[in-house]
Amino acid sequence: MHLKFFTTHTEYEAYINSEDAVLPNVSYCEDNDEVHYNPKEQPIVETDYNTTININQSGNTYILGVQEGAETSWFDAIVFDGQPIDLDELYSNDGYFNIQTAGEHSILYIPKDKTKIKQSTFNSTKITSLNSNETGTCIIPNGVTLIDEDAFAGCNGLTTVFMPDSITELGPTAFANCMNLTSVTIEATTPPEVSVDALPFKYISNPFPIYVPAASVNDYKTAEGWEEYASRIEAIL
């Protein structure tokens, strides 16, 4: 378990103080939108991408980014609603897998390179979660070091993003135009490298908070590129 939600801080305290509690890396309390970082040893999270999409009405929806650069060959397998997809068919259709059925669908991506979420992978898709059962929550798997250019650009179904301490680089406009983001939590003590010409959260008017380890707040605020977000950077509680 990498993320756990609590209704109150009292509920959170009672849980973490119990001897048999299995603590997630990050906890979220509805009280005052509290986010808590739990430093105890955590279970290993598989570096596959479990994703949910929700189609409100029938139409053309694709499971991969539709911009040039998204390659199905990055994956060993893709499973849609429990059924493996013929990757050869995806290759012949430039990675397009057309979904026309309204409702919720599950997708499991098994990447060849588990350290990177590559360019445009989910660009402008209707994903509503990543590695989480909570709608809107995107949890980047442990071990991922790079979220590449436009990887989640235009993913308006995402509201909350959690990045592990393995993250070292956010590519240009990695989360650009994710207009419904309300918070981002980054567990890396060293600020990930970003492109100063195309910042990772470009074109988002909502001044959402960016939570980082308390000891690294000043480092983030003064790091190249991150100084643009200095007023939003806060300590993980």
d(CA 21, CA 3): 13
Reported as a single tens digit per residue, the pLDDT across 125-169 is: 889 999 988 899 999 998 999 999 999 999 999 999 999 999 999
Backbone angles phi, psi at 67, to 5 degrees: -80, 155
The sign of the CA dihedral 28, 33, 35, 36 is negative
3-state secondary structure of 133: coil
| Tokens (6 digits) for 155 | 């993913």
* Residues 209, 210, 212, 217, Cα dihedral to 10°: -80
Q: How far apart are the first and last CA of the chain?
A: 19
| Tokens (6 digits) for 23 | 């603590």
Of 213, 205, 217, nearest in space to 188 by CA: 213
What integer pLDDT is reported at residue 23 of this predicted model?
A: 60
Contact 188, 166 (CB under 8 A): yes
State the 10-residue block means of pLDDT for the chain, 237 residues long. 67 76 64 62 65 79 66 80 80 69 88 91 90 92 94 95 96 97 96 96 94 96 96 92
Reported as a single tens digit per residue, the pLDDT across 198-212 is: 999 999 989 999 999
User: CA 191 → CA 2, 19, 145, 203, distances in Å?
Assistant: 21, 33, 12, 21
